[in-house]
Structure 1
Amino acid sequence: HEDKGFRLSAIRNRSIAQAKGDYIIQIDGDIILDKNFISDHLELAEKGYFVCGSRVLLGRMYTARLLRGLESHPATLKQDYRFMLNGFRSHILRHYLANRYAKHSMLSIRGCNMAFWKNDLMRVNGYNETLEMWGQEDVEISYRLIHAGVQKKQLKMGGVQFHLYHKFASRENLEYHEQVLHRVIENKTVWCENGIVKDK
């Protein structure tokens, strides 16, 4: 995947198409996973649902300490209090919140921590490659999945991941991405024309 800028949707689609498993747990390359990350996700795996998890954002200084080997693993209690709850695990609360928390908002979608059945992703034709730069690609595919009848679960109190600090990607195309998202919501779009399959 040649570096031609932010083309996350395209490389995710290539990965989805080549994936041999029935269930895809999606992460980014700038995170550190808790040892229970996969097992927590699999607890909530259920046909007819996709799952969105959370993250703990690490600060610049703490990230530097990790990368220099001064910290062996991220410590939840040392992080910004705004993200601290995302670092805790509870089996009971994880299952209690899965459907209740998911109903409140579509703002809690993080592409760095999601899980899908491959058949559901193929049903909506994967990610929209028209969204070439940063922003809303994860929310856009989530709405199309919902329009296709796939429900959302929220993975809270589990699926813990720590996001390394880095400078933000360019937001210069965000307004266009917002327009695409608005059309998807308004038209209840399911199929993405510029996705995994290029000509239906």
Structure 2
Amino acid sequence: MSVSLVITTYNWPQALELVLMSVMQQSVLPNEVIIADDGSTVLTRDLIAKFQENFPVPLHHSWQDDDGFRAARSRNKAMAKATGNYIVIIDGDMILHHHFIRDHKKAAKPNQFIQGRRVILTEKLTKQTFDSKNIHFSVFSPDVKNKFNTISCRLLSPLVSCLFSKQSYRSIRSCNMAMWKQDVIKVNGFNEAFVGWGREDSEFALRMLNAGIKRKDLRLGGVAYHLYHREQTRNNLNNNDRLLEEAVKNQVTTCQHGLSEHL
């Protein structure tokens, strides 16, 4: 089993730096890392180039023109480049627990995709983290919300994950997901008709479920810490909601404009 870690980013190199630091400190490294860049400036390019000098695994930069919020296309381009047979997706503001990749590999099963959890850091703690570059947190850390999500327990994770998993596209967040590349190809990746923030991850999960690929909600493992930021503008959310409603109604398993355009 080989793992490709895909990290989405857009013009926030300060956060990406901390994320890449956390990748380098993994107890089990991914086989490669691919930055899915939705049109960042040269500052992000230079940061990645700096890390490439001594990164422990291949670190690739997948870039596209800045033409609005096109996370679906950015992820597809990065996943098309992936050489691993298993893909883990995170956002570029998610600092990884020391055992993040190890936990995702342990939870991987055929015909299944994983929805991971996130720990939310407050604005105060996020600022402190940028200042100190201390990327280690725990259930005892002050200014950490939803503290239960900080707990990592290799023995209990499989049982708790089975108890809480639900076969629904709701509450899907692509900031912490994992799936087999062959299943991504099967549903043609993310639907690039989704432009602007929102619902592209829900519609992707819906097609996976419709294609018979089960959902597993990873608990007590695969912990990631979400840096605080202001919410994205939601100018195109009504259109994205309509696309999701159509996908639900038509029970779709694939999309017209997706991963295949980049393979």
TM-score, with normalisation over the residues of structure 1? Answer: 0.92
How far has the Cα of 1:71 moved from its partner? 4.2
How far has the Cα of 1:173 moved from its partner? 1.2
| Larger RCO: 1 or 2 (CA < 8 Å, sep 6+) | 1
Give 2:184's aligned amino acid: L
Do the aligned partners of residues 104 and 17 (structure 1) sit closer, same or farther apart at CA in structure 2, a change above 3 Å counting? closer
How far has the Cα of 1:67 moved from its partner? 0.2
The reply to whether residue 178 of structure 1 matches residue 241 of structure 2 is: yes
Do the aligned partners of residues 91 and 6 (structure 1) sit closer, same or farther apart at CA in structure 2, a change above 3 Å counting? same
Match in the other structure for 2:101: 38
Structure 2: give runs of 5+ residues left out of the alignment. Answer: 1-63
Match in the other structure for 1:160: 223
Do the aligned partners of residues 115 and 135 (structure 1) sit closer, same or farther apart at CA in structure 2, a change above 3 Å counting? same
Query: How far apart are the structure 2 equivalents of 1:68 and 1:56?
Result: 19
Match in the other structure for 1:25: 88
3-state DSSP of counterpart to 1:25: strand
Query: How far apart are the structure 2 equivalents of 1:143 and 1:37?
Result: 25
How many residues are aligned here? 199
Give 2:86's aligned amino acid: Y
How far has the Cα of 1:172 moved from its partner? 1.6
The reply to whether residue 58 of structure 1 matches residue 121 of structure 2 is: yes
1:93-137 per-position Cα deviation (integer Å, ceiling 9, x unaligned): 310122331227543322011001001000111001111111111
| Within-5 A mapping of 1:16-165 | 16-69=79-132, 71-78=134-141, 82-103=145-166, 106-165=169-228
TM-score, with normalisation over the residues of structure 2? Answer: 0.71
Give 2:67's aligned amino acid: K
3-state DSSP of counterpart to 1:68: helix
How far has the Cα of 1:14 moved from its partner? 0.4
Taking every aligned residue pair, what percent have the same amino acid on both sides? 37
3-state DSSP of counterpart to 1:141: helix
Of stretches 46-55 and 174-183 in structure 1, the one that deviates more from structure 2 is 174-183
The reply to whether residue 10 of structure 1 matches residue 66 of structure 2 is: no
Structure 1: give runs of 5+ residues left out of the alignment. Answer: none
Of stretches 90-99 and 103-112 in structure 1, the one that deviates more from structure 2 is 103-112
Equivalent of residue 258 in structure 2, options 191, 195, 198: 195
Structure with the bigger percentage of strand: 2
| RMSD (CA atoms) | 1.9
